[in-house]
């Protein structure tokens, strides 16, 4: 039996899992250090803003995120529910982005880093977090959506998904990479809101629900900026008149495929040329704070109390 499994297929989304050796080894190295990884991403995002050297760092980040890890794509709630319904395994961790933010973190739920499929199976072999039933995973997902968080599907080695993220604009590293650091890793999904102008009352509930300011309400209805819109569906959920619907718009999504051996090899050479000095510098000036992940506790917004230890 092969190491690649297609678990869910819809008009907008294919969920594909890969249990192969290369990806497994990558995940085993990444998962125990997610806290420091997020801090490192912030560090490299800052480096990317520097003159001259920033150009090379940004290119390295782009290749890393495109082919290896954390290439996020936004989907509405119903698509994410289907991902959970067809998942082979589920596990939840504290959100490392909110743990990194510490006192600057918002009031969003903490336990929202939802590992899926092979990644969840590997995570069970390590400390912290909690294995989930399908019902518990759906409860976490729906609670996060109700709290206004954006749901995105993260890949680890394209195109194999490993995680459902539940993001806010203030803490999420992927959003910060896109909107603050100029590294395009948080991608708008394949849906756009479409307005029935005749039914629109001009209440502006939709624009208030939009985290990225992509909607403008006028007398003629709702104008959507497709370049800013994430396709998260919060606007449609907030609309009391039901005048907004999420329309499948496939041309919005870049179709990334698993890179061939030559492209992957060349990308890895460039990535290592940029990342290795960055990692060494980061370790020198920042140190490790991975222990904060083990100390993280649910807050008042979490859907239920979760034990820090795997059950």
Residues 263-270: what's their mean pLDDT? 76
Q: Per 3-state DSSP, what percentage of the chain is helix, strand, and coil (rounded to 5)?
A: 40, 20, 40
Q: Are 236 and 214 in contact (CB under 8 A)?
A: no
Q: How confident is the model at residue 256, as a pLDDT?
A: 58
Comparing CA positions, the residue from 204, 212, 205, 259 lying closest to residue 231 is 212
Neighbours of 288 (CB within 10 A): 11
- Is there a domain that residue 303 lies in? no
pLDDT single digits (tens) 144-196? 999 999 999 988 877 888 999 999 988 998 888 888 888 777 888 999 999 99
Residues 182 and 195 grouped into a single domain: no
Q: Please check whether residue 148 lies inside any domain of the structure.
A: yes
DSSP state of 260: P
The count of structural domains within the chain is 2
Percent of the chain with pLDDT over 90: 44
Considering only CA atoms, which of 150, 197, 198 is closest in space to residue 174? 150
pLDDT at 231 over 60: yes
Q: What is the pLDDT of residues 26-85, one digit of tens each?
A: 889 888 888 888 898 888 888 888 888 888 888 888 777 776 666 788 999 999 999 999
Mark whether 237 and 284 lie in a shared domain.
Answer: no
Is 241 a domain residue? yes
Identity of the highest mean pLDDT range in 28-32, 120-124, 268-272: 120-124
Q: Which band of pLDDT confidence, cut at 50, 70 and 90, is reported for residue 310? A: very low
Q: 235-260 b/e with 16+ CB inside 10 Å = b? A: bbbbbeeebbebeebeebbeeeeebe
Q: Are residues 117 and 264 in the same domain?
A: yes
pLDDT at 29: 87
Confidence of residue 139 (pLDDT cuts 50, 70, 90): very high
| 158 shares its domain with 235 | no
**Quick check: 266 pLDDT over 90?**
no
Is residue 308 one of the residues assigned to a domain? no
Whether the model pTM is above 0.85 = yes
Together in a domain, 52 and 128: yes
pLDDT of amino acid 276: 78
Same domain for 148 and 136: yes
265-273: long-range contacts (C-beta < 8 A, 24 or more apart)? 267/63, 267/67, 270/59, 270/60, 270/63, 271/60, 271/63, 271/64, 271/68, 273/60
Indicate if 258 and 116 belong to the same structural domain: yes
Residues 80 and 197 in one domain: no
Report whether pLDDT(311) > 60.
Answer: no
pLDDT at 308 over 70: no
Domain membership flag for residue 301: no
* pLDDT mean across residues, the chain: 86
Are 132 and 164 contained in the same domain? Answer: yes
How many residues in total does the chain contain? 311
Q: Which domain holds residue 222?
A: 191-248
Mean pLDDT of 130-143: 94
Is residue 304 one of the residues assigned to a domain?
Answer: no
């Amino acid at each position: 039996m092969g190491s690649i499994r297609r678990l869910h297929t819809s008009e907008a989304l294919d969920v594909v899992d890969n249990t192969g050796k290369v990806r497994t080894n990558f995940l085993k190295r990444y998962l125990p250090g997610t806290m420091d990884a997020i801090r490192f991403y912030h560090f490299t995002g800052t480096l990317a803003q520097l003159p001259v050297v920033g150009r090379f760092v940004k290119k390295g980040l782009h290749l890393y995120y495109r082919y290896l890890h954390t290439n996020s794509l936004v989907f509405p709630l119903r698509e994410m529910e289907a991902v959970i319904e067809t998942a082979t395994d589920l596990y939840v961790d504290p959100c490392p982005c909110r743990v990194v933010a510490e006192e600057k973190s918002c009031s969003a739920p903490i336990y929202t880093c939802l590992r899926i499929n092979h990644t969840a199976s590997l995570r069970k072999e390590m400390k912290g977090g909690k294995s989930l039933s399908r019902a518990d995973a759906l409860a976490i997902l729906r609670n996060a959506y109700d709290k206004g968080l954006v749901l995105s599907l993260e890949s680890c080695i394209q195109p194999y998904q490993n995680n459902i993220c539940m993001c806010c604009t203030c803490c999420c590293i992927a959003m910060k990479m896109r909107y603050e650091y100029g590294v395009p890793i948080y991608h708008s999904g394949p849906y756009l809101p479409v307005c029935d102008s005749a039914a629109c009352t001009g209440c502006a509930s939709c624009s208030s629900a939009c985290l990225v300011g992509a909607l403008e309400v006028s007398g003629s209805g709702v104008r959507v900026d497709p370049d800013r819109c994430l396709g998260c569906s919060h606007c449609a959920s907030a609309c009391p008149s039901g005048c907004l619907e999420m329309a499948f718009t496939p041309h919005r999504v870049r179709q990334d495929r698993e890179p061939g051996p030559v492209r992957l090899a060349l990308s890895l050479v460039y990535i290592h040329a940029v990342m290795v000095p960055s990692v060494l510098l980061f370790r020198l000036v920042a140190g490790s704070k991975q222990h904060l992940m083990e100390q993280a506790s649910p807050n008042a917004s979490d859907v239920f109390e979760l034990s820090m230890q795997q059950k």
